[in-house]
């Protein structure tokens, strides 16, 4: 098996999978700005099993994005053989399994982070996926969960229990989001828990790649957090909203001890390129998604509020060009 993870130069700076964000256009933009690996939005194992056209479309990518990792979610191990094989057939570099999603529609049905409650199912999912394909399989989870909303059962489960349970499987990489299920997206991450998980992961997975995630806002803090946790890399999520050049800045800083601020010209070029890529991949129906990205790109500009109305009305890359060439 070709394991691209072990070929990458450390530290590895990657995107996380993000529903509604990490589509092919955004991944291409991240790649252009230096992402080492890009992740797709999560795709449902059930939907792949039942040949959902919409979900199959989510697997499309461009060669320049490689290595691309497709993230899969679902709580039924029996669907993973076919789902993983459908993914592998597309030629992507890897598959990631979601054991961290707190969203009601996933965790509420026992999927995502709540699968940690059901470690036998976790094992079956991992085993089935690894057996089905010849590409590296990674996992993404959180530092833990304390209880499941709406269910009587209570008790604490941590990423350490998770690592212990899966230690027999050849996991290529693991991304750990440093927050629990109970504080899904707010507040600081628990760096000590991330470091502890790193130590345990490395004990069992000698060649495994350990990547931290969560709340990383600046070039400097990203580097400090990687150093503190001794992670092999970092996965960026909301920190790169509207500033995909963070990948380059982090790398420049690591290589030279300094980095450049991005000029408005560079921002404009990126925005316009992004708009065209989104148009090419999703056409009229999907182009409305550009609007949220535009708001991220202008964040911090004094005229951001004034521009809002115009930005949330764009229908075509030409509209984006018209606004941004004026600015």
Ligand X SMILES: Cc1cc2nc3c(=O)[nH]c(=O)nc-3n(C[C@H](O)[C@H](O)[C@H](O)COP(=O)(O)O)c2cc1C
Strands 209-213 and 154-158: unpaired
Task: Name the residue nearer to ligand X (CB basis): 75 or 177.
Answer: 177
Task: Name the residue nearer to ligand X (CB basis): 187 or 327.
Answer: 187
Query: CB of 127 within 8 A of CB of 171?
Result: no
* Angstrom distance (rounded) from CA 84 to CA 24: 19
What's the angle, vertex CA 143, arms to CA 154 and CA 68, rounded to 5?
Answer: 125
Find the binder of ligand X among 67, 74, 94, 214 (CB under 6 A): 214
Binding of residue 177 to ligand X (CB under 6 A): yes
Task: Name the residue nearer to ligand X (CB basis): 140 or 293.
Answer: 140
Smallest gap from Cβ 237 to ligand X, in A, equals 3
Smallest gap from Cβ 192 to ligand X, in A, equals 17
Q: What is the CA radius of gyration of the chain?
A: 20
Find the binder of ligand X among 14, 28, 55, 98 (CB under 6 A): 98
Closest CA to 248 of 227, 231, 262: 262
Binding of residue 24 to ligand X (CB under 6 A): no
Binding of residue 55 to ligand X (CB under 6 A): no
Count of chain residues binding ligand X (CB under 6 A)? 22
**φ, ψ (nearest 5 deg) of residue 150:** 80, 0
Binders of ligand X in range 226-255 (CB under 6 A): 237-239
Binding of residue 46 to ligand X (CB under 6 A): no
Smallest gap from Cβ 217 to ligand X, in A, equals 8
Find the binder of ligand X among 8, 13, 21, 290 (CB under 6 A): 21
DSSP per-residue letters across 81-149: HHHHHHHHHTT-SEEEEEE----HHHHTTT-GGGGGG-HHHHHHHHHHHHHH-SS-EEEEEEEEEEE-T
Task: Name the residue nearer to ligand X (CB basis): 69 or 323.
Answer: 69
* Angstrom distance (rounded) from CA 110 to CA 87: 23
Binders of ligand X in range 57-76 (CB under 6 A): 71
Binding of residue 140 to ligand X (CB under 6 A): yes
Smallest gap from Cβ 88 to ligand X, in A, equals 19
Smallest gap from Cβ 215 to ligand X, in A, equals 4
Binders of ligand X in range 180-199 (CB under 6 A): 185
* Angstrom distance (rounded) from CA 44 to CA 51: 11
* Angstrom distance (rounded) from CA 242 to CA 40: 18
Find the binder of ligand X among 8, 12, 13, 18 (CB under 6 A): 18
Binding of residue 16 to ligand X (CB under 6 A): yes
* Angstrom distance (rounded) from CA 192 to CA 225: 10
Smallest gap from Cβ 182 to ligand X, in A, equals 14
Smallest gap from Cβ 27 to ligand X, in A, equals 13
Find the binder of ligand X among 181, 216, 297, 324 (CB under 6 A): 216
* Angstrom distance (rounded) from CA 233 to CA 210: 7
User: Stretches 30-38, 61-69, 98-106, 124-132: which one binds ligand X (CB under 6 A)?
Assistant: 98-106
* Angstrom distance (rounded) from CA 221 to CA 230: 14
Place of tokens 């592998």: 88
Place of tokens 């230096």: 34
The two most distant CA atoms of the chain are separated, in Å, by 58
Task: Name the residue nearer to ligand X (CB basis): 100 or 144.
Answer: 100
> Rule CB under 6 A: which residues touch ligand X?
16-21, 41-42, 71, 98, 100-101, 140, 177, 185, 213-216, 237-239
């Amino acid at each position: 098996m070709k394991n691209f993870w072990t070929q990458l130069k450390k530290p590895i700076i990657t995107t996380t999978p993000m529903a509604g964000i990490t589509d092919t256009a955004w991944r291409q933009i991240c790649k252009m700005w230096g992402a080492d690996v890009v992740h797709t939005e999560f795709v449902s194992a059930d939907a792949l099993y039942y040949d959902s056209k919409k979900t199959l479309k989510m697997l499309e990518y461009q060669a320049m994005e490689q290595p691309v990792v497709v993230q899969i979610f679902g709580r039924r191990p029996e669907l993973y053989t076919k789902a993983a094989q459908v993914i592998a057939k597309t030629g992507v570099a890897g598959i990631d399994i979601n054991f961290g999603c707190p969203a009601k529609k996933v965790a509420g049905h026992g999927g995502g982070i709540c699968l940690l409650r059901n470690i036998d199912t976790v094992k079956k999912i991992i085993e089935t996926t690894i057996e089905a394909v010849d590409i590296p399989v990674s996992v993404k989870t959180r530092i833990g969960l304390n209880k499941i909303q709406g269910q009587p059962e209570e008790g604490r489960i941590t990423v350490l229990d998770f690592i212990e349970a899966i230690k027999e499987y050849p996991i290529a990489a693991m991304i750990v989001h440093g927050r629990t299920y109970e504080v899904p997206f707010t507040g600081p991450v628990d760096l000590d828990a991330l470091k502890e998980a790193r130590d345990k992961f490395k004990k069992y997975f000698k060649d495994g790649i350990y990547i931290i995630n969560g709340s990383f806002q600046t070039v400097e803090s990203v580097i400090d957090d990687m150093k503190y946790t001794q992670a092999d890399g970092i996965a960026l999520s909301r920190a790169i909203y509207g500033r995909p050049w963070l990948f380059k800045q982090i790398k420049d800083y690591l290589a030279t001890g300094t980095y450049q601020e991005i000029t408005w010209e560079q921002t404009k070029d990126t925005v316009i390129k992004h708009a065209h890529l989104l148009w090419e991949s999703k056409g009229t129906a999907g182009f409305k998604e550009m609007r949220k990205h535009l708001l991220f790109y202008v964040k911090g500009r004094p005229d951001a509020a004034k521009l809002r109305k115009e930005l949330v009305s764009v229908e075509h890359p030409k509209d984006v060009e018209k606004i941004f060439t004026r600015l």
